[in-house]
Structure 1
């Protein structure tokens, strides 16, 4: 886990974005590096969100290098920012975790965390898509470019509630991020 945290921190710092140190501090204080990535699917475990984010970076970096899409420092920074922060909202917001342990009866009068679905969405946090939370949190600390904002907002592509707004308006970074996210969750992290 420390290796993942170190890699993410090093990559984010390499962008030299104003406010990046404060964003990293916020991520640490709000348990980004401990949060699960989902309730039961890919990386539904402590530290899953950070692991997934790094997996998406590695996939996106490989895809972009293979396509020779990375030819400027600005694109390199966008690859880092978008891949590592696209799911930032999954850590929660407003002092509330997004995913909390899913406790079920142990039939002895106590509770245990479900093995089938270890986490559940926190009902005390208002239902806002994590893509929007990700942009809100990141933008509080660093300035996102228009392309980064768009890529993060639509990184779930046609699997998102926002699919009708995206249809026919796809952009390079957004499509690459979407594919890297899918590759990480459906291939690299498959149970």
Structure 2
């Protein structure tokens, strides 16, 4: 699916499932950023133009297909956490030229993505902060987005029990983390 079609699918899915006050203002703000064209990473997964959009849709698809129970789960919450969990990556990357050897062994300048974090607030917590500038999150949603990186989150490296407590108390946090892992490691191209 090309980037334009995927963006339309993102927007229609979001608008169909999310009716919360401020949602349209959030989408309008997102249109002023590079969210829909940014990569999802510099070189690990979906490291290409539009990769962040692809990754967000992949996480949504995994979360809904594997973890959503229409009898007990809220489609609005599942849509918000999956589509917006990496909002922190809007305005996060820039392109630089680096020297690399090509297939013929010759040096050439190639564009690469690098991190240019203008607002170093953390990963999940930055996404929560950006969303809440426009739209209120429920506690379970904020916890899911905050902790979606699981043990890969830098704040957990020192042995924090906050992650374990969040996972125990908020099943949506576990479901989002598992969906993010599956989308990243099983569904997305790891190299360009």
| Same fold (TM > 0.5) | yes
CA distance in 2, matches of 1:33, 1:81: 16
Q: Which residue of the partner structure matches residue 119 of structure 1?
A: 113
**Which of 52, 67, 83 is residue 49 of structure 1 equivalent to?**
52
Give the 5 Å matches for 1:14-53.
14=16, 15-53=18-56
Q: Secondary structure at the match of 1:128?
A: coil
CA distance in 2, matches of 1:6, 1:53: 13
**Alignment CA distance shift 1:126-1:142 (3 Å):** closer
Unaligned runs of 5+ in 2: none
Q: Secondary structure at the match of 2:127?
A: helix
Whether the 8 Å CA contact 1:154–1:162 is kept in 2: the answer is no
CA distance in 2, matches of 1:169, 1:112: 42
C-alpha deviation, 1:140, in angstroms: 0.8
CA distance in 1, matches of 2:165, 2:189: 30
Scaled by the length of structure 2, what TM-score is found?
A: 0.84
CA distance in 1, matches of 2:88, 2:75: 22
Unaligned runs of 5+ in 1: 92-96
Scaled by the length of structure 1, what TM-score is found?
A: 0.85
Give the 5 Å matches for 1:24-173.
24-65=27-68, 69-72=69-72, 75-91=74-90, 97-105=91-99, 111-113=109-111, 118-122=112-116, 125-163=118-156, 164=160, 165-170=162-167, 171-173=170-172
Q: Secondary structure at the match of 1:120?
A: strand
Whether the 8 Å CA contact 1:88–1:130 is kept in 2: the answer is no
C-alpha deviation, 1:70, in angstroms: 3.1
CA distance in 1, matches of 2:135, 2:119: 24
C-alpha deviation, 1:162, in angstroms: 3.0
Considering only aligned residues, what root-mean-square deviation do their CA atoms show, in Å?
Answer: 2.1
Whether the 8 Å CA contact 2:143–2:166 is kept in 1: the answer is no
Q: How many residues align?
A: 177
CA distance in 1, matches of 2:97, 2:37: 18
